Copies of this chain bind each other. A is one copy, B any other.
Amino acid sequence: MSEHENRARPASATAMIHPASSSVWSLHPQLARDAAPAGDLALSRVLVMNDATYPWMLLVPRQAGAVEIIDLDEAQRAQLMTEVAQASRALKDVTGCDKLNIAAIGNVVPQLHIHVVARRIGDAAWPKPVWGATPPRRYDARELELFVAAVRHAVGLA
């Protein structure tokens, strides 16, 4: 777009045509590829990782440019903790897991995202962390649909 076109538009329209600018949050394409959406909490988009080896949720705060937890302000961090607890209870209820693993790593995908993973004693990576342990094994479509529905219900989104 030329500078002329830019100047010719009203401010609101200019904002509309920059959906990928740093002030507008959108889900990182790698997360969109790896996971299925389960709805939005007050701060975070809830996703379900498409890896049938471990029941695995992601919370992605819809805050443009956030990479670290400390990039959120104090109220957002408090809300994130509330949502981590909500997701943890939901995943534990749905799976009856032995342990929860919760982490903000982001060495590969910089957009702030929090992993909430249900672990079972003796699962494919146990007792090691899941990241990079086993190649993702995709759910079949119906399985994924059912798991997303169960998570949505347990987390209070349906």
Show the binding face of A for B, using Cβ within 8 Å. 67-70, 74, 77-78, 80-82, 84-85, 88-89, 92, 99-108, 119, 126-129, 131-132
A105 to chain B, nearest CB (A): 5
- Determine which of B89, B119, B132 lies in contact with A107 in the assembled complex, contact meaning CB atoms within 8 Å: B119
For this chain, the copies found in one complex come to 2
- On whether the beta carbons of A88 and B68 are closer than 8 Å, the reply is yes
- On whether the beta carbons of B132 and A129 are closer than 8 Å, the reply is yes
Does more than half of chain A's interface fall in helix, strand or loop, or is it mixed?
A: mixed
- On whether the beta carbons of B127 and A129 are closer than 8 Å, the reply is no
Residues of B within 8 A of A128 (CB): 107, 131-132
Residues of B within 8 A of A119 (CB): 107
In whole angstroms, how far apart are the Cα atoms of A119 and B110 in the complex? 13
The 5 closest A-B pairs by CB, nearest first: A103-B103, A107-B127, A81-B81, A102-B104, A70-B88
Residues of B within 8 A of A88 (CB): 68-70
Residues of B within 8 A of A104 (CB): 100-103
A100 to chain B, nearest CB (A): 5
* A-B contacts besides A70-B100, A103-B129, 19 pairs, CB < 8 Å: A67-B99, A68-B88, A68-B100, A70-B89, A70-B92, A74-B85, A77-B85, A78-B81, A80-B81, A99-B107, A101-B105, A101-B107, A102-B103, A102-B105, A107-B126, A107-B128, A107-B129, A128-B132, A129-B129
In whole angstroms, how far apart are the Cα atoms of A78 and B81 in the complex? 7
